[in-house]
Amino acid sequence: MNSSEELRLPKHVTIAVVGAGPAGLGVARVLRDLGIPDVWVLERGKIGESFRRWPAGTRLLTPSFPGNVFGVTDLNAISYDSSPGWSMKCEHADGRTYAKYLDMAAGAFGLNVQCGIEVFDLEPAGDWFSLRTDRGLFHADFVIWACGQFGTPFKGKLIGAEHGKHYGTVKRWKDLPGDEIFVVGGYESGIDAALGLVRSNKRVTVFDSETPWEDTDKDPSRALSPYTQQRLRAALKGGSIALEGGVEIIALESEADGVRILAADGRSWLTQHTPILATGFGSGTEVVSEWFDYSENGIPLLTDQDESTALPGLFLVGPEVSHRGHLFCFIYKFRQRFAVVANAIATRLGADTSALEAYRYNNMYLDDLSCCDDDKCLC
């Protein structure tokens, strides 16, 4: 494994995996088990870069627990035989701790990781792909896109969004000036922002056009996770958080005394301090968007093998994978698709895929999409 910026990447590889987060490293591990040669993971920063950029105090929503010896894979593990809970000795790891687990896993699995290389775009070139990077042009027979969404903050249609600060750009909540902060958006990032601000002895008001903190959807991809609900209940007892549901914020305006927050119903609030925008994230496929088709909701359209419907040979892994209306956005969900992608590529290369039985045995190989029917949802 190469964790420095020294270039070791060959000019032509069998498979280029773009992104060294849990998705990229996880699928690379499966390909390694199948004996596929020349699999390289390309990362513009360091391994687990997105997690390293999380705001201080932000933690994984799903708990980690080492149940491997009983055939139960740690929810946050990228392989059936590893456990961040055991390795890092914590259940809800923060970003830097989880990045350390990923770094350890890449080394233990013997993966080829090239850090310090940014992929700007790709295009088909006969029987392979050309990848244009800041280190020159490289070629690959197959490309697996594994870039997460944290690097693409989304401000929605909010007018004057430049007067706010997006959740994904905050390093430490305690560094933000002021003792009263407004947060636009009440889903996971919005409530996490509120909790981080309260820990820093600030008062917080959270606006959302709905009331996500009251949603009872059983799928944590669509409602606040139990971990967040638990923390929110405890924080509400202190009286430092106000939840304002049914308030659609449409604009931010700069005034002499601060920033005015405007709602669709005509109400407004003036704050002397920069509002926090918890308005979500865009697509991690933005760089290569011309090679994906998208649904009306902006979700990349994929075949049953998680291959782009627009460009054969380009696969997607990670939190944007979706089938039949079900999102695979948690690690324990999208890792079930690693072996699906690996199987598709290995079959085309004529490789032995018998090693995938271990993944089926450990419930990490979801090749039957009938489990995504409404009455059999894997969630």
Q: In whole angstroms, what is the distance from residue 96 CA to residue 53 CA?
A: 8
Dihedrals phi, psi of 214, to nearest 5 degrees: -105, 0
Quote the pLDDT of residue 371.
60
Beta bridge partners of 17: 41, 144
Strands 112-115 and 276-277: unpaired
Residue 34: both structure tokens together: 């199948």
Nearest-10 Cα torsion for 13, 321, 99, 77: -100
| Model confidence pLDDT, tens digit, residues 47-98 | 999 999 999 999 999 999 998 878 889 999 999 999 999 999 999 999 999 9
Instruction: Tell me the pairing of strands 136-145 and 165-166.
Output: unpaired
Cα(264)–Cα(248) distance, integer angstroms: 6
Range with lowest mean pLDDT among 27-36, 109-118, 327-336 = 327-336
Domains along the chain with CATH numbers: 12-151+282-376 (3.50.50.60), 161-277 (3.50.50.60)
Residue 290, burial from CB neighbour count under 10 angstroms (0-12, 13-18, 19+): exposed
Q: pTM for this one?
A: 0.94
Mean pLDDT of 326-342: 94
Tokens encoding 179 = 């003792």
Helix (H, G, I), strand (E, B) or coil at 218: coil
Cβ atoms 276, 181 nearer than 8 A: yes
Residue 378 has pLDDT above 60, yes or no: no
44 and 131 Cβ atoms separated by less than 8 Å: no
Residue found by looking up tokens 């895929």 in the block: 353
For the segment 3-13, what is each residue's pLDDT rounded down to a tens digit? 457 899 999 99
- How far apart CA 23 and CA 59 sit, in angstroms, is 18
Q: In angstroms, rounded to a whole number, what is the distance separating the alpha carbons of residues 276 and 274? A: 7
Q: pLDDT, tens digit, for every residue of 261-297?
A: 999 999 999 999 999 999 999 999 999 999 999 999 8
Confidence band, pLDDT 50/70/90 cuts, at residue 372: low
Query: Does 298 have pLDDT greater than 80?
Result: yes
- At 145-165, the pLDDT tens digits run 999 999 999 988 899 999 999
Rg (CA), the chain: 21
Q: What is the mean pLDDT of residues 163-173?
A: 97
